[in-house]
Structure 1
């Protein structure tokens, strides 16, 4: 996937219907998010959208939505993206969603992971991941980085997007 993100304040949260017969009623949401410059994005929240730390988001929260920039999207305004990951802003915590290669460097070359035996590597459902995290799409939660290029971090936890 080609992950892109958009950060802003949640302005509205509404039910979103995806089926004509309403069988999915209540299972899908639409978050309207506006950034500081006034740009607006609508995120479709599906039952499978991963929320970092399984937090509950409400109107007024600052969030970052991650989506696949290569996925087809309707040609409408404001843009509407299928949220793959949502992260609620938390002081001192950073989140990176990306493909990490064999050396655990992000696809954009800006972050390298230094994993230790105590770094939790989890599945989206919170269970331990028993495989290797290399060459996978990961959600990385961290705080400190080096000032090198790429920046290096020992993450607080890593979530594998299977």
Structure 2
């Protein structure tokens, strides 16, 4: 007897002829989100049970009064703005990729891409900036000056215009225009 209880979607042999399928199948560009809070705990994290990764990964717990707790997995590839050492009690902001797979647990746990220690004299954002250096949400426009330091994650200079890239931007005051404009102190490329 035929059972039509579970619908089946056909697999098309030439998927390139179906642009909607290819456009929605995979979003290649990461979308970044941030969570700010007070560091309540830092401990070793073991993603794999082998001796090679022991001590290389950390689990950093943040607490925010309005949004609750969040855990960030700190890997050797996590970038710390200004190479700051973070300790329990520090106010930090963690940035993560919202398109990356995440465990459905409480508190939420995300792989950290960037960690920034909160200071009163500088702001940090992580986002995709287009060819006019406007952020993906349209809220920030960068005006690069000769004093703006443009570097790679390994602190080597980047000698091109940083358009159409994912950037870590360290900046100070902004204009009250839409989009807000700023001259960043430092731009780090997430290549």
Q: TM-score, normalised by structure 2?
A: 0.83
In the TM superposition, residue 98 of structure 1 has moved relative to its aligned partner by 0.1
Instruction: Name structure 1 gaps, 5 residues minimum.
Output: none
Describe the superposition over 1:81-105 as per-residue Cα deviations: whole angstroms up to 9, x where unpaired. Answer: 0000000011121001000000000
Give the secondary structure class of the aligned counterpart of 1:132.
coil
Bigger radius of gyration: 2
Cross-structure match for 2:68: 39
User: Which segment is superposed worse, 124-133 or 141-150?
Assistant: 124-133
In the TM superposition, residue 62 of structure 1 has moved relative to its aligned partner by 0.5
Backbone CA RMSD of aligned residues: 0.9
Which segments of structure 1 move beyond 2 Å, counting only runs of 4 or more? Answer: none
Q: TM-score, normalised by structure 1?
A: 0.97
Q: Distance in 1 between matches of 2:51 and 2:34?
A: 30
Query: Does 1:22 pair with 2:33?
Result: no
Within a 5 Å distance, the mapping from 1:135-154 to structure 2 comes to 135-154=164-183
Higher relative contact order (CA 8 A, sep 6+): 1
Describe the superposition over 1:126-156 as per-residue Cα deviations: whole angstroms up to 9, x where unpaired. Answer: 1111232000000110111000000000001
Query: Does 1:106 pair with 2:170?
Result: no
Cross-structure match for 1:134: 163
Describe the superposition over 1:54-102 as per-residue Cα deviations: whole angstroms up to 9, x where unpaired. Answer: 0000000000000000110011000000000000011121001000000
Give the secondary structure class of the aligned counterpart of 2:82.
helix
More strand by share: 1
Instruction: Name structure 2 gaps, 5 residues minimum.
Output: 1-29
More helix by share: 2
Within a 5 Å distance, the mapping from 1:1-162 to structure 2 comes to 1-37=30-66, 39-162=68-191
Q: In 1, are the aligned partners of 2:124 and 2:171 still within 8 Å (CA)?
A: yes
Aligned length: 162
In the TM superposition, residue 38 of structure 1 has moved relative to its aligned partner by 5.6
